[in-house]
Structure 1
Amino acid sequence: MLDLFKNLPKVPEEKFHAKFKLLKNSLFREKAILSDWVKDFVDRDNKIVAEFQENFHSSFWEFYLFAVFSELGLKVDFSHSSPDFIITYPERILVEAVVSNIKDGGRAEQDRKHEDILSMLIPPHQVLDFQEVLDEAIVRHSSSIHKKWSKYKKDYSKRKHVTRDEPYIIALGSYDQVNYGREFVYSMMALLFGLYYDPLADDYLPRISIKKPGTDSDIPIALFNNDVFEDVSAILFSCTMTLGKLTALANSEEKSGQMNHVVNVRQISAEPTYSIKSVSPTEPEHLSDGLFLFHNPYAKNVVDKNMFGNTNIVQIFLDGDQFRFEGNHPPLFSRYNGIFKLPEEFLSKIVRAFNRLY
C-alpha cells in the first residue's frame, strides 16, 4: 500500500508544497479519501511520494486518474515504467498523464486571494479578462500536449511492450494559472477543434490560431482538425482537479461533518442553462465529475466510448463542423470551495447572472 503521509519526510520539510502541508496537517477527511485512492497504486521508480510532497500537482493528478480507472474496473499494468497507465482490461489503452503549470514569472499560486476563489462564481460574460485567461490556458496546454505527443512518437511507440494499434490518450490536468478552475472546456475546444468561445455572443467562433499573450507570435490551434495528431486518440482533461475535489467528495458523504462550503456550477441542457447548488449528500459531487474526454476524429486508433460510458465523464465529439457532448450527468462548469458559507440569496443572484436573467 502506497503511504503518502507516514514516515515523513521524503524531502526536507521546508520544501513541502503548501497544499501537501494543508492536507497533512488540517484536511483529515480529505487525506483519508486520497489515501484510499492510492492504496493499490504502484510507485514504480520510488519517486512519486517525494514528488507529491514537493511539487504536488503532477502526482496528485496521477493519483486521481488511478482512482477513476479503479472505480471503472479497469485493470492497470504497472510492470513497465512508461507510459504512466497501461490499461489491459477490458481493452488495452495507453494513458500518459501531464499537467500544465504556471509559466515562469507568472502570478504564483500562493498569491490566490478570496476574490480569486469567488471568481469561480462569475459567469464568462462578466469576466473582464476572459480572453487573457483563455489564451494563456491554450498556450500552456498546447505545450503540454506537444510534449507528450512527441514523447510517444520518439520513445513510447518504439518500446517492445507498446504496439501501434492501441489507443493513446493524453490525460491533461490544468494548473496553468491562479484561476485555472474557470476554464471549463473553452481552452480545449479552441486548441483541439478551433472553436473559440465568445462569451458575449455565447457561441463558438472558428479560429486557426491565437496570439501568444504578450507577443506577436501566432500559436496554431485546431490540432484535431487534420491527421497530424493521428497518434493521439483522445485528450482526457480537467481544470477542476484540486483540493476542492477532495472536499467536495467529503461533503457528499452522509456523515461529512462541518467542512468548507463547496458550490458546484453545472451546465445543463434545459433552460435555464446553469444550475448552482451547494454540495451535500443530497446534491453530491462524484469522483469523475469535471472530467472531459475529447475524441480525435482523425485518430488512427479510436477509443471505444463505452469504456468510459458508465461514469460522469463527459465525452466530446466533432462530426464535420458540429460537436456534441455525451454524458450521464450535467458537466461540472466550475467549483467554489471556501471557508465562508455563502448565503442563499447570494447564490440566487449568481444563478440569475449565469443565466442572464436580469
Structure 2
Amino acid sequence: MFAAGMIDLKNGSCMLDLFEPRFPEAKLHDHFRLICSDPAYAKVLPVIQSWATGLLDRKGESHKFIKEFQSTFNSSMWELYLNRAMGDLGCSMDYSKSSPDFVVRGPGNYEFNIEAVISDQPPSALQQKTFTYQYLKIRGALKLIAKIRDKLNLYRGANGKKHPYSSLSHVRGRPFIIAIAPFDSNISLFQNNELINMVLFGIAPPVLTGPDRGKQERIGSLLTPSGSPVKMGIFTNDSFKEISAVFFSTVGTFGKAVVESGIERLVRSTRYRVIEKDKLEAGSEQWQVGMRRLQRGPLDFLSALRWDNGSQISGADMYIQHSSLHRETHLDGLQVYLNPYAETPFDPEFAWPLEVALNYYDVESANHVAPHPDGALVSRQVFEPTPYSLRVLLESNGFLAK
C-alpha cells in the first residue's frame, strides 16, 4: 500500500492515495479488496494511481471519488482511464469545474465536455441466474441506451433538475460527449462494438460467413422484459442532437492497467486487419484469404482470419500470448462515434491518434462508415498465467481439440 499522501514528483504536489481504505473491509468492493490483498498486483496499483493525476485535485470531490472507487469500483476505473486518455490525446482538464465529469481543452484551445457513465450489473441475485447469450445482448443494448438517455436528461434538465448541464457557461456552445463502457454482465467486455453499433446506428453485427458476408441487418427497436419497444439508432435522426459524440471502449478497464504494469499474465487480444489490394505484396502469406492458426513461440499463438472485401482484404488477428509479448497503448481500443445530427458537431479536423477507431453515420446512404486503422484493438482479456488457463484458451479458440 502507498502512504496516505503521495508526492507527485512531476508536479511536486501531494496526491491522495486511491488505495488507502476508507471503509471497513466488508464495505469494500470485491475487486478493490482483491487487488489490494494479492501481492501479484503490487505493480498495478501505481499504474492506476498515475491515471488519477489531476483528478484528485478537485476541491470537495477527491474524497468522494476515492470512496466511490473503493466501494463501487467500475465507474471510477472508467473515469480514471478517461482521465489518462485525455492527456494522451494532447488535452488538459479544468478540474475546478465539478460537472460535467471532464471539462476538456484540446490542441488549439478547442474546448469540449465529457460525461462518463457505465452500464452496470444488476443485483447479485439476478447475476446468479442463467441467461441465454441473446438475452444478455438485448439486455446489454437496453442498458447502454438507458444510461445514455439518463445523461442526456442531465444535459437537458429533465425531471425538474435545477442546474442542467446546458445552462452552465462552460458547456453552452461546446460539444457534449458521453463516454460509456459496458460492465453489465460477465460477457460484456467481449462484445467489441456490436451493441453500441446497435444503439447508435441501429445495425446488427455483420454476417461473417457465406454469400452475405459483411451484410448488416437494420434493427429498429428492441423489446424490454415488459414488452415495451425501445428505439435503436439514436444517431440516425435528431432525437439525441444534444450529444455531439460517444466515446466507447471495452478495454479501458482494470485489464488495461494490468497490461501497462507489465506483470506476468496470459493475454487474449483481437485486432482488426485491413489492406488495400493494390498495396499487397505478391504471395503475401499474412493476407492469404481464409483461416490460419499457428504457434509462433512457446506462449505465442495466432489465429488469422482473412476475407476478400472488394478492393480490400479484411479480417482479424486473434492472439494468445504471454504478456511480455503483448503491446498495447493506453488509447488502443478507444472508439469514437460522431453524431451527424449534433447541434454542436465535434470538430472534424481534430487530430486523432492512429489507434483511435472512428465511426460515422452517412445520412445519405444510411450506412455505418468505419475507417478503422489496420491493427485497431478490438478486444483484450487477461488471465492467470497457469497451465489450466492456457489449455482453456487454446481449446476454446480452436488450437486444441476439446
Structure 1 residue 236: Cα displacement: 0.3
Of 175, 186, 200, the residue aligned with 2:183 is 175
Of 137, 141, 145, the residue aligned with 2:144 is 141
CA deviation map 1:180-208 (0-9, x unaligned): 11111111111111102265765321121
- Is the alpha carbon distance of 1:134 and 1:161 closer, same or farther for their aligned partners in structure 2, counting shifts above 3 Å? same
Contact 1:77-1:86 at 8 Å conserved across structures? yes
Larger RCO, structures 1/2 (Cα 8 Å, 6+ apart): 1
Q: Distance in 1 between matches of 2:393 and 2:183?
A: 28
Counterpart check, 1:95 vs 2:137: no
Q: Which moved more, 1:231-240 or 1:37-46?
A: 37-46
Q: Which runs of 5+ in 1 are unaligned?
A: 117-127, 354-358
What is the aligned partner in structure 1 of residue 350 from structure 2? 307
- Alignment TM-score, normalising by the size of structure 2: 0.74
Contact 1:192-1:222 at 8 Å conserved across structures? yes
CA deviation map 1:298-334 (0-9, x unaligned): 1111112443511522110111322222344533332
Of 147, 160, 170, the residue aligned with 2:169 is 160
Q: Distance in 2 between matches of 1:67 and 1:349?
A: 34
Structure 1 residue 289: Cα displacement: 1.5
Counterpart check, 1:30 vs 2:30: no
| Equivalent residue letter for 1:312 | E
When Rg is computed on C-alpha atoms for both structures, the one with the higher figure is: 2
What is the aligned partner in structure 2 of residue 39 from structure 1? 53
Contact 1:248-1:279 at 8 Å conserved across structures? no
Counterpart check, 1:265 vs 2:270: yes
What is the aligned partner in structure 2 of residue 123 from structure 1? none
Structure 1 residue 148: Cα displacement: 0.4
How many residues align? The count is 328
- Is the alpha carbon distance of 1:226 and 1:285 closer, same or farther for their aligned partners in structure 2, counting shifts above 3 Å? same
Higher relative helix content: 1
Counterpart check, 1:186 vs 2:198: no
CA deviation map 1:62-104 (0-9, x unaligned): 1100000112220111111101101123210010001110134
What is the aligned partner in structure 1 of residue 230 from structure 2? 219
Question: What is the root-mean-square deviation in Å for CA atoms of aligned residues?
Answer: 2.7
- Is the alpha carbon distance of 1:106 and 1:279 closer, same or farther for their aligned partners in structure 2, counting shifts above 3 Å? farther
- Is the alpha carbon distance of 1:143 and 1:275 closer, same or farther for their aligned partners in structure 2, counting shifts above 3 Å? same
| Equivalent residue letter for 1:31 | L
Structure 1 residue 56: Cα displacement: 0.4
Of 244, 247, 250, the residue aligned with 2:258 is 247
What is the aligned partner in structure 2 of residue 120 from structure 1? none
- Is the alpha carbon distance of 1:314 and 1:198 closer, same or farther for their aligned partners in structure 2, counting shifts above 3 Å? closer
| Equivalent residue letter for 1:102 | Q
- Is the alpha carbon distance of 1:343 and 1:10 closer, same or farther for their aligned partners in structure 2, counting shifts above 3 Å? closer
Q: Distance in 2 between matches of 1:236 and 1:188?
A: 10
Contact 1:182-1:333 at 8 Å conserved across structures? no
CA deviation map 1:170-189 (0-9, x unaligned): 00011011211111111111
SS of the aligned residue for 1:205 comes to coil
Q: Which moved more, 1:185-194 or 1:26-35?
A: 26-35
Contact 1:289-1:312 at 8 Å conserved across structures? yes
Q: Which runs of 5+ in 2 are unaligned?
A: 1-13, 158-163, 276-288, 290-305, 307-314
- Alignment TM-score, normalising by the size of structure 1: 0.83
SS of the aligned residue for 1:223 comes to coil
